[in-house]
Amino acid sequence: MNSNHVAMTSPKAPQPSAEMHSKKTVSIDKTFSTAHPNVPSTEDVVLDAMRRRLSQAGRSESEPFCVMDLGKVQSQYERWQSSLRFVQPCYAVKCNPDSKVIALLDSLGSNFDCASQAEIELVMQQGIPPWRIIFANPCKKPSDIAFARDSMVLRMTFDNEAELRKIKRICPSAELILRCYASDPSATYTLASKFGAHPEEAVKLLKLAKSLGLEVCGVSFHVGSGSKDPRAFERAIQESRRVVDAGIHLGHNMYIVDIGGGFTSDTFDAAAVRIRASLSTHFSAMNIRFLAEPGRFFVADAVTVACGVIGRRDAHENPTTLDGPVNDMLYLNDGMYGTFLTYFFELCPQPKALRVSGAFYPQSTAAESSKYILWGPTCDGLDCILKDAELPKDLSCDDWIYFSDMGAYTTCLTTNFNGFTSQREIIYVFSRTSETTPRKCAEVEDVWH
């Protein structure tokens, strides 16, 4: 196996152009390395950025802010390359559509998975050519298909007859990828009830595409966002081979297998082992290009959110409930209708103290702690971030705390509910996690915006 293909017989896959793998080098002001002693750790780099932000005279402290560590994004990309080098990643832009993340991943060699005209425009604004984009939304607006056609973004997915006929009408030159059914019931968000053609239907769709004069060039699947069972990839890859064979039999030039997303930092290694074995078992004699659509795997660990305390209510002020005494309460300037919206559906990270009574943390001596209920700033009773956060006992108004691992489906889901702004100030830093990490980042020179 080389970096792009598994050796094969037939059919022959079109070779990517030189431009497809061109890389851009981008600059950065400061690069820290944890490979050497006496150099700040990745967490220290982020903490330093937050301290600097809160120490700037005249800067407002009324709104939450974020620190994006692009070094962690690069570290995760290198981890992908180490384990799945022959699978071309197409970053799922929806997960975190940050232009600097896109620029960095572009410079490292990633392609991109877009789901709408706006996402395609965002990616192409970074100078990324259309052939490095897959329009991976199985049900697209007609106007978005027309925009993709005019922009030469021709590789797109489908999973039903109506979508095929829509594409035939608007973009008959499309290079189609058939989205097939796959499911990991244990995933954080399952997608099988919404997308994916079942095996019998997949063959019917391949036949219909042929009769319409449309070219199907491959198959894709998605086991679910935040997959927890690596065996789900094995099952989906095995079924993909059957669909590929059916397409070849019908005369389609099937040269792409897209294994979708669902990757998390915790389960990636186990999933990669099974993916490598399954692709080798089922596609070892075929000239197939393998794609994937990682999103949260690249960015989940890269963002830290800093929140200010805007109010406090002590436990003695709260009535005792049937479950016993209520914890002390803190009210923050961010909440479930802001950066934390995704945590209506998944486990929220535990916070740490950033600044208490004017002193920045961590401190050399451990502070006495207390359990808190953390509320967001809105008037909605559902705006509760956590009910058991352990933080220093003397937290009060104007103190600050922070949450790590907030890079996936957070800043892109903020709302203006109750009049609170959906905009987030983002500070970009670049920590290095290995001595060999090159300087590739999107212009980080005290970037505040």
Give backbone dihedrals phi and psi of 66, rounded to 5 degrees, phi first.
Answer: -125, 150
Are the C-beta atoms of residues 302 and 72 closer than 8 Å to each other?
yes
Distance CA 103, CA 440 (A): 9
The rounded distance, in Å, linking the Cα atoms of 259 and 257 is 6
Annotated active-site residue 397? The verdict is no
Indicate which residue of 180, 217, 348, 379 is catalytic: 379
Asked if 254 and 211 touch (Cβ cutoff 8 Å), the reply is no
Reduced to 3 states, what is the DSSP secondary structure of residue 290? Answer: strand
396 CB neighbour count, 10 Å cutoff: 11
- Cα torsion at 297, 302, 308, 313 (round to 10°)? 40
- Crossing angle of the two packed helices 231-249 and 268-283, in degrees rounded to 10: 30
DSSP H or E stretch at residue 69 = strand 65-69
Residue 339: enclosing H or E segment and its boundaries? none
Neighbours of 251 (CB within 10 A): 12
80-86 contact pairs (CB < 8 A, 24+): 80/268, 80/294, 80/297, 80/298, 83/268, 83/269, 83/272, 83/276, 84/272, 84/275, 84/276, 84/292, 85/3, 86/1, 86/2, 86/3, 86/4, 86/5, 86/6, 86/279, 86/290
Q: How far apart are CA 198 and CA 306, in angstroms?
A: 44
Question: Can you tell me whether residue 189 is helix, strand or coil?
Answer: strand
Q: Quote the tokens at residue 287.
A: 């000239």
Concatenated DSSP letters for 295-312?
SHHHHGGGEEEEEEEEEE
Query: Distance (Å, rounded) from C-alpha 158 to C-alpha 177?
Result: 6
The catalytic site residues sit at: 379
